[in-house]
Amino acid sequence: MAIQQLTDEQIRTWTRAQKDEWWFKNVYRGDMAQLTLRSGLTGFLLGAVLSATGLYIGAKTGISVGVGLTSVILAFAMFRIFHSMGWAEDYTVLENNCTQSIATASGYVVAPLFAGLAAYMLTTGNIIPWWQLMIWITISATLGVLVAFPMKRRFINEEQLPFPEGRACAVVLDSLYSGEGGQGMFQARLLAKVSGLAAAYQAIISDGWMKLIQFKLLRMDQWAGMKEPWVFHERLDQYYYAWAVKAEGWIPKILGTDFRVLGLRLTLDAAMLGVGGLMGMAVASSCLIGTLFNFTVLAPLMIQAGDIAPRVSPSGALVPLSRVEIVNQWSLWWAVTMMVVGALVSLLARPELITGLFKRKSAAAKAAEAAGTDLLKDIEVPLWISYVGVPVLGLLAAWTTHIFFGVPMLLALVALPLIFALTVICTNSMALTSWTPTGALAKITQFTMGALDRSNPASNLLPAAMTSDVASNAANLLSDIKPGYMLGGKPRHQAIGHVIGILAGVLACVPLFYLLFLPPDANGVRSVATMVSDQFAMPAALQWKGVAELIAKGVKGLPYSALVAMGFAAVTAVVLEVLRIRSRGKFPLSAVSIGLGVVLPPESVLAMWLGALLFWFMARRHEGKPGTPAHRRWVEGAEPICAGLISGAALMGIGNAILNVII
């Protein structure tokens, strides 16, 4: 069944009351199940699992991976199977939509854990107690929900803005439940098969799983005399280096610096292949350019010049050069400059995102509101909840930011109006482009608050983290409500679902955060020194930390070469973004992605690029052959394959971290 929508002329000429009446009579499905016990529970469980994979991928890449369509396919397949076995009634399309809304909220709520909050811990050395993390994230994310609903009636009901990502989700849901269910089951089977293969591969490269199988189950340490479990090396070049050390073979170097010190390794990372497939060739290629330029040209030159060198830690131990040291000592500065300038230029190039906020309501809309003719008052979330809840939660957010992190109360209060204004800009951007410029907006908050208080890193990091969290949840809630609106669902059910998703993500991922990134040592002591590693590069946190340190210290203490690199990076970022704007997106390079490629491990960037290349090649090869098995698999099934690679590898990687703690 085709989704009913207003024409462009109707959107332009009708009042909001007319649009609401049309929607109520033609689209609304008030008698269809939506937020039921099973849809809420399914969304909660799927959200917990998928948010864990989002935290895993975010710590590796700094990118938030959407889980909406993955949850749609999984929920559809699960209840279609249950229905065929006589265990349950089939899911309704609105129950599935509510499930994806809950799961999506869970996926996005974890972003502060690998960005602003992680940067605060890295900058200050303070480990935030788990209960403070849970409270702070829940408050700021729920604040985003309350901020969103006064905007819902304008952006969705009145202006009928596209929200491209939400629209795509509605189209998929409609196709699954209107006679094309076979395609949904095919995608679910494809996702399950790929996920299983990725999980099996991740198990054989994981020491925890191999220790469990070989020592605990097969007892090979007792009858085979094994002291260490056999593990297939994910870093494929490890086999060559092991031979080269024994045979005194050739070790590749650039200007005398070992490839391994520069982080130039060859790895087969299933999750990164999937991430590359989702990000596409343009972004992956930009990341690869940043990686190669930094680690094959700039870093060797700076090491040779002495601007990057081994240092002595506060304990007196010598810290040898490594990829992390190269990034922290020198490369981070020009990478952060490239990302911040590129993001801000991209944002400022869309003045409609800001000017559109001040568009006046039509006289007819004002008259309808004054007359109290609100046909949807029993369906929408009552506005009084936002009008009361936003000030209350805003004050509570400021107070917890002050109590938990030491941000002066006055500064926390001053930040609130800025947070709300930037949230509206971000939501308008999501409505038009499916792009949420949370990174650029967070930097605006960081620099603004840093100008008021340069001495305390928390004064810019925490308000910026709140901006990011509030904006992300507000924008994504409205994007989730778009498919519900198109399919005839109740907005208040999705709002409740979003809150359920916030709780699922927080309960699942805060404990996991400590397990993955802050494991206790032999004495039970946790340290921020374990947060950044070869496995988890924390690129988003390093970017936030770099901006905070730049605000606190200024340019004093930076090598002259770093200042020159920052200048060139700023100019280059402006040029690249202008070229992208002038070419209407056809110019393939992105300044933000080039900067991201510097802070990511080169081995991960290469794996992402190979994944992007694979899916790009297969799509080009089969895109003109609709109906063929290859087209169905590589074109229509590209997203389920990528989701399977990510979820299978991430869940087994998380399991490996748990096993290493308990075995």
Output the DSSP codes for 365-388.
Answer: HHHHHHHT--TTTTTSPPHHHHHH
**Contacts by 371-375, CB closer than 8 A, 24 or more apart:** 373/17, 374/20, 375/17, 375/20, 375/21, 375/24
Most confidently predicted of 174-188, 273-287, 355-369: 273-287
Query: Could you give the C-alpha distances from 299 to 102, 257, 303, 567, in angstroms and in order?
Result: 44, 9, 6, 17
Q: What is the pLDDT of residue 434?
A: 58
Query: In the prediction, which pLDDT does 615 show?
Result: 92
Distance CA 256, CA 334 (A): 23
- Tokens representing 605? 């960037």
Contact of 591 with 570, CB cutoff 8 Å = no
Q: How confident is the model at residue 132 (pLDDT cuts 50, 70, 90)?
A: very high
- How far, in Å, CA of 162 to CA of 602, rounded? 37
160 CB contacts (<8 Å, ≥6 apart)?
5, 6, 11, 19
Q: Which residue has the higher pLDDT, 130 or 185?
A: 130
Residue 454, Cβ neighbours under 10 Å: how many?
15
pLDDT at 432: 62
Tokens representing 194? 């790929």
**In terms of C-beta distances under 8 Å and separation of at least 24 residues, what long-range contacts does 389-398 make, across chains too?**
389/146, 390/143, 390/146, 390/147, 390/420, 393/139, 393/142, 393/143, 393/146, 394/143, 394/420, 396/139, 397/136, 397/139, 397/140, 397/143, 397/466
Residue 364: the pLDDT is 46
pTM of the shown model: 0.77
Question: From CA 163, how far away is CA 481, in angstroms rounded?
Answer: 10
**C-alpha closest to that of 648 among 235, 109, 214, 274:** 274
Residue 455: pLDDT over 90: no
- The H or E element spanning position 646 is helix 638-662
Q: List, as one string, the DSSP characters of 66-125.
A: P-HHHHHHHHHHHHHHHHHTTSSPPPPHHHHHHHHHHHHHHHHTTGGGGTHHHHHHHHH-
Give the Cα separation of 415 and 463 in Å (integer). 6
In total, the chain counts a number of residues equal to: 663
Report the SS3 class of residue 312: strand
Query: Does the pLDDT value for residue 292 go beyond 90?
Result: yes
Q: Which of 259-273, 301-315, 417-431, 589-603 has the lowest mean pLDDT?
A: 417-431
**pLDDT of 363 above 60:** no
Pick from 107-111, 117-121, 551-555: least confident: 551-555
**Alpha carbons within 13 A on the beta-carbon side of 509:** 34
The answer to whether the CB of 195 falls within 8 A of the CB of 647 is yes
The identity of residue 303, as a single letter, is I
Cα 512 to the center of its chain, rounded Å: 16
Of 392-396, 539-543, 550-554, 589-593, least confident by mean pLDDT is 550-554
The answer to whether residues 631 and 625 touch, using CB atoms and an 8 Å cutoff, is yes
Burial of 244 (0-12, 13-18, 19+ CB in 10 A): middle
Q: Is the pLDDT of residue 568 over 90?
A: yes
- CB burial class (10 A; 0-12, 13-18, 19+) of residue 8? exposed
Render 608-635 in DSSP notation, one character per residue.
HHHHHHHHHHHHHHHTT-TTSHHHIIII
Residue 256 CA: distances (Å) to CA of 66, 259, 289, 598, 603: 42, 9, 22, 21, 20
Average pLDDT of every residue of the chain: 81
| Residue 296 pLDDT exceeds 90 | yes
